[in-house]
Each structure stands twice: as C-alpha cells, then as structure tokens.
C-alpha cells in the first residue's frame, strides 16, 4: 500500500490510512495525552506520509516503523511548540492526559514489558537496570524530556540522562539481537 501510495494511488493511501490509523493514533494519544491534539498531529503525519511516500526505503524499515517514526517526531514537535498542557498529567499510567485517557491504561514500564514479550527480547531487557528501563520507557512512550523524567522519578537530572543514555544502548542491543 505504501508503494502504491508513492505512485499517487489515492485508494491505496486510504487503505493505508484505514489499516494503520488506529495504531498510529494510539501512539500519538499516548504521547500527547489528548485526542484533539493527537488528531491534529495524525493529520499532519498522514499529509507528510502522502508527500514523502516515495522516500520510504523498504530495506531500512517496515512500513509501520517508518510511519510510527513520523508520528512520534510530529508529537515531539508538537510538545516543543505547544508545551505539555497544564491539564495533562505526567502520571505514569492512570493519570495520563487527564480527560481523554482511560484510567486503566498500562504504565510506560508495562508497555515496555509487553513490547519485550512481543519482540521476544524480554530476557535480555530484564538484565537492564530498572531505573534505566523505566527512564527509557517514560521518554519513549510518553515523550518525556530529561527534566520531566527527573521530576517524575524524583531523581537528579544528571542521573536520568545517564540512565537513558545507557538504557537506550542496551535496549537497542537487545532489539538487534532479538531480530537476528
């Protein structure tokens, strides 16, 4: 569908949207916390996907990975431009995004654990220190900055930077090993 979209096939683009929008919307809602903001970002993302479909390189990543990266980057741009709204909670789990997010949403760490199961890297990830895993999870799933993670974990920002730097490297090694 992405290849056909790159050729200007509008029907294929619509199918691509229908197939991927709920997953991508979920990613955006998780980071931004509000449906309205997430829809704005998703709209920008799909416009970008339509315009950039010919730049997608199949050998570099799967279509969904490519599109998810576009959505995440747009979310991070949105946070940079608009900030995290005062009504948006940074609670790791139940309080995310105030109005729009159900109280029973899994925590960022739980999402990381579920991903590790799906990607069959759980054993590897469990060897990584808990603070590193949680810091990376908060940054990845909720788009938290170093300062926000530090505030959430009530830890020095220098420690958080080190946790994320080391945790990222180790998680990437696990994912690369798991994909092999």
Partner 1 sequence: MRPELLNQLAGAYVIGTLRGRARLRFERLCQQSPAARMAVQTWEAELTRLAVSVPAREPSPQLWQRIARQLGHVDTTPARNWWNLFMPAASFAFGLLMAVGLMQLYPGLLPLKETAPPVAMSVSANTGLPASYVGLLLDAQGKPAVLASALRHGKTLSLKLLQAVQVPADKVAVVWAFSKDGRATRLGTIPKEGKLAFEMANTAEALLSATTRLGVSFEDGTALPNAPGELILSGHCVKLW
Q: Alpha helix (H) ranges present in the chain?
A: 2-6, 10-32, 35-52, 63-82, 108-118, 122-125, 130-142, 146-153, 157-179
Q: Which of 63, 88, 107, 133: binder of partner 1 (CB under 8 A)?
A: 63
In sequence order, the β-bridge partners of residue 96 are: 89
Contacts with 15 (C-beta within 8 Å, 6 or more apart), sequence order: 1
Residue 109: closest CA among 64, 65, 68, 139: 139
From the CB of residue 71, how many other CB atoms can be counted at a distance below 10 Å? 25
Count of residues that bind partner 1 according to CB under 8 A: 67
Interface characters, 112-151, with partner 1 (x: CB under 8 A): xxxx-xxxx---------------x--xxx-x-xx-----
Min dist CB 71 to partner 1, Å, is 9
Please tell me whether residue 165 binds partner 1 under the rule CB under 8 A.
Answer: yes
Q: Which of 57/154 has CB closer to partner 1? A: 57
Please tell me whether residue 96 binds partner 1 under the rule CB under 8 A.
Answer: no
Please tell me whether residue 82 binds partner 1 under the rule CB under 8 A.
Answer: no
- Distance from C-alpha of 78 to C-alpha of 15, rounded to nearest angstrom: 26
Binding site for partner 1 (CB under 8 A): 1, 10-11, 13-15, 17-23, 25-27, 29-30, 35, 38-39, 42-43, 46-47, 50, 57, 60-66, 68-69, 72, 76, 80, 105-106, 111-115, 117-120, 136, 139-141, 143, 145-146, 161, 164-165, 168-169, 171-172, 175-176, 179
């Amino acid at each position: 569908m992405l290849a056909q979209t790159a050729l200007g096939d509008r029907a294929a683009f619509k199918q691509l949207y229908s197939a991927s929008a709920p997953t991508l919307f979920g990613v955006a809602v998780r980071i931004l916390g509000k449906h309205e903001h997430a829809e704005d970002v998703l709209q920008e993302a799909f416009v970008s996907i339509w315009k950039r479909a010919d730049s997608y390189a199949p050998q570099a990543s799967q279509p969904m990975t490519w599109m998810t990266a576009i959505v995440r980057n747009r979310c991070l741009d949105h946070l940079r431009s608009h900030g995290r709204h005062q009504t948006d909670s940074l609670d790791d789990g139940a309080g995310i995004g105030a109005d729009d997010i159900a109280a029973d949403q899994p925590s960022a760490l739980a999402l990381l654990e579920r991903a590790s199961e799906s990607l069959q890297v759980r054993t590897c990830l469990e060897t990584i220190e808990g603070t590193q895993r949680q810091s990376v999870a908060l940054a990845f799933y909720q788009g938290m900055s170093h300062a926000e993670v530090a505030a959430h974990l009530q830890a020095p920002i220098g420690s958080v930077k080190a946790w994320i730097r080391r945790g990222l490297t180790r998680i990437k090694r696990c994912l690369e090993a798991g994909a092999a």
